[in-house]
Amino acid sequence: MTLSRTPSPASGPGRRGVVRGALGIGAAALAAPVLTACGGGPSADPKTVTFGSNGADATPKSAYAAVTSAFTKESGLTVKTNTVDHDTFQKSISTYLQGTPDDVFTWFAGYRMQYFAKKGLAHPVDDVWEKIGAGFSDAAKQLSRGLDGKYYFVPLYNYPWAVFYRKSLFQERGYEEPRTWSEFTALAKRMKKDGLSPIASGYGGGDSWSILGAFDYLNLRANGYDFHMSLMRGEVAWTDPRTVRTLDLWRELSPYYQQGAGGRSWQDAAQSLLDKKSGMAVIGLFLGQQITDEKLREDIDFFAFPEIDPSFGQDTVEAPTDGFMLSRRPKNLDAANRLLEFLGSAKAENLYMGVDPSNVAVNSQADTGSYNALQKKSAELIAEAKHITQFGDRDSDPGFISTVVLPGLTQWLGHPDDGSALLKTIESQRSRFFTA
């Protein structure tokens, strides 16, 4: 017990003063958040509308800036943009919407929009749709309505998921775009023999969502749109034999996946496709954001995910749609409606696509003349689709997908078996997410 145990001697006259001072600082520190909370609220300036954006990357950020400054020029209203990192925005969305959200905010179509509409955290935008409705297809309108039939969403752009490849690689090796499942697997087998990783894959770290593209397409092609959507909405059991079949098909494909995928980012996987180390990639058009050399962009092409069951063909395209919503109590409703109206116009979409060419405008009146080849082909693919799905984590409860389905699927993909244990695990959690 030699460690200093003796009480320290009193430090003399100044002690109380020091304590008092420290106390004052402590009290001030405690009071500070309260005070700022009282004084810091934004005032409802009739000339200002606030806009919460998740486009924190350089390209979308400058694209949104171009759109909002054009709106300011046209209407004389100022837009105060509040940009938050994409993942943080999603994670804190419930708290954000319950606190003091911005008037207009970026969000996703489908189940995730409907969830907040149902919870009363969003304001309907039917007035806006009366003015912009003419520019949108029925599929786009369908995507923008809540479960109560009202509009809650104004779409801006979407992008298709497909199987991407490099044209020059296919030419060099004499590969051909497969149309059916057997052609697809045969091509993958051939690529493997040629020393390539047939299917680029990276679902490490925070990128496990990227495997859902393959899952969705396999399920859509094998079991059709209706079954897929019921499965996503938690209306059918995951142990259904049709889901088992989807996993069987996936298992057939898994030997052709790039090795070490569980620790790789999707960007690195995409890079291996660009470097011709991988032959194909099931990915979205956002792959284009990885490309810095315009020549390389011209060498990229894609084909629709191959047909599995001829009765469903290739009728569905997975095309996640991003757009805007109105918060439940906008401080400046008129200005917010005018901003949404502008955002839904062909003009705003042209401005946005002008800066960010890795998406396709949803408004059918938008100018497609400046599209690059990939965008044109994407727009055609989406326009021809009979059904449009959003994406696994947008068509379903995102918590269910991220905490149950994705951990299960990634683990299974490491050692694919018949999947019965996996499906039983997923099924055991389904009721927890889909009863409320």
Partner 1 sequence: MSSVRPAPPSPASSAPPRARPRPRRLGPGDRVFLAVLIGIPLIALLVFVWLPALASVGLSFTSWDGIALSDIHWTGLGNYQEIFTNYPPFWPAVRHNVVWLLFTALLPTPFGIFLAYQLDRKIRFTRIYQTAIFLPMVLSLAVVGFIWEIIYNPDNGLLNGVLNGVAPGHHIDWLGDPDLNLWAVLVASAWRHTGYIMILYLAGLKGFDPALKEAAALDGANGRQTFLRVVFPALKPVNIIILVVTVMESLRAFDIVYVLGGGVGSKPGMELLSLLITDNIIGESSHIGYGSALAVVLLLVSLAAIGTFLFQNFRKEDQ
Antiparallel, parallel or unpaired: β 321-327 and 154-158: antiparallel
- Distance, in Å, from the CA atom of 319 to the CA atom of 162, rounded to the nearest integer, reads 9
Contact call for residue 405 and partner 1 (CB under 8 A)? no
* Strand pairing category for 278-284 and 321-327: unpaired
Return d(Cα 161, Cα 147) in angstroms, integer: 26
**Among residues 160 and 419, whose Cβ is nearest to partner 1?**
419
CB nearer partner 1, residue 3 or residue 10? 3
Q: Are 302 and 166 in contact (CB under 8 A)?
A: no
Is residue 292 near partner 1 by the rule CB under 8 A?
A: no
Closest CB to partner 1 among residues 27, 58: 27
Per DSSP (E only), the strands in 276-429 are: 278-284, 300-303, 316-318, 321-327, 360-361, 387-389
Sites for partner 1 among residues 66-105 (CB under 8 A)? 87, 90-94, 98
SS3 104: strand
Candidates 205, 226, 255, 418; binder of partner 1 (CB under 8 A) is 205
Question: Does residue 329 touch partner 1 according to CB under 8 A?
Answer: no
Single out the residue of 120, 149, 241, 369 in contact with partner 1 (rule: CB under 8 A). 120
Using rule CB under 8 A, residue 119 touches partner 1: yes
Does residue number 357 form part of the binding site for partner 1 (CB under 8 A)? no
| Sole binder of partner 1 in the list 25, 27, 147, 373 (CB under 8 A) | 27
CA-to-CA dists, residue 62 to 81, 159, 274, 330, angstroms: 12, 19, 26, 25
Q: Which stretch binds partner 1 (CB under 8 A): 64-72, 113-121, 302-310, 338-346?
A: 113-121
Tokens 């980012």 correspond to 265
DSSP 251-279: HHHGGGBPTTGGG--HHHHHHHHHTTSEE
3-state secondary structure (DSSP) of residue 25: helix
Should residue 3 be labelled a site residue for partner 1 when binding is judged by CB under 8 A?
Answer: yes
Residue 115 engages partner 1 in binding (rule: CB under 8 A): yes
Stretch that binds partner 1, among 67-75, 204-212, 228-236, 310-318 (CB under 8 A): 204-212
Which spans of this chain sit near partner 1 (rule: CB under 8 A)? 1-7, 16, 19-20, 23, 26-27, 30, 87, 90-94, 98, 112, 115, 119-121, 203-208, 259-264, 268, 272, 397-400, 402-403, 407-408, 410-411, 414, 425, 428-429, 432-433, 436
